[in-house]
Amino acid sequence: MSNSVLESLVAGNKHHVEHLDADYFEGVRDSQEPQVVSIGCSDSRVPVEALWNTNKAGVLFKSVNVANQVWTEVDGTLVVNDVVGYAVASLGVSDIVVLGHTGCGGITAAYESVVGDGAKDLPVAVEAAVSRLVPLVEEARELGLFDEDTPTDDAVNRLVEYAVVRQVEFLTESDEVPESTDCWGFVYDFQHAYGDDDGAAYLVAANGDSDPETVVEWVPDEFACRVKSIR
């Protein structure tokens, strides 16, 4: 009996081993000192390491979950999640990246829950994750980011950006994150919501700021086109 998926995984690892540089793990076999922790979505369309052209071991510490959430709930209180907490407390990372993406399913589920478009029944843990996003959707509606006339795709993508911005604010205000830590918020675009370049990551928040005129000051002039907002 054979399994085509398992076979492809094993074959893929064989290719990985055969093409790995001999010094790939040099200096990081016994410990790691990554500079960056990235919190991304579990979505299969978001290649976390490839989109930053990060191909070295020990560079990027990663968390992927439903809708790239930097927080979790403990005893009824939102706290930084385990991956971020470990990265800042034990690894001493200098930078945190919140990486959202257009067309996010988790954000869509939260949006549907709020507007009453028939949100699907979800597994308990997924429902809990989505419920942590609902307050952001409600806030955004109160702020006028969307209304009943806003096309769903547009509303979801505005909410993706809003959620990234709010989570960067959460990190910068958290006592669990050292003040010296830089916090960046990006949206990875494959729906041409921000521009025509497939796979471009747009900087939408920087250390708590989300005004593009302020955020753009953090990047070299040649990358100014990667600072945008659709809210």
Q: Are strands 182-189 and 200-206 parallel, antiparallel or unpaired?
A: antiparallel
92 in the Ramachandran plot: left (φ > 0), alpha (ψ -120 to 50) or beta? Answer: left
End-to-end CA distance of the chain: 52
> Any catalytic annotation for residue 101?
yes
**Helical spans, DSSP H, in the chain:** 4-19, 48-51, 82-86, 105-115, 124-131, 134-142, 152-173, 212-215
Q: Are strands 77-80 and 71-74 parallel, antiparallel or unpaired?
A: antiparallel
41, 141, 166, 183: which one is catalytic?
Answer: 41
15, 16, 29, 45: which one is catalytic?
Answer: 45
> Any catalytic annotation for residue 45?
yes
**Alpha-carbon dihedral of residues 179, 180, 181, 187, nearest 10 degrees?**
80
43, 141, 183, 189: which one is catalytic?
Answer: 43
Contact of 29 with 57, CB cutoff 8 Å? no
Token pair of 195, please?
A: 């521009």
21, 75, 104, 175: which one is catalytic?
Answer: 104
> Any catalytic annotation for residue 41?
yes
**Catalytic residue IDs:** 41, 43, 45, 101, 104
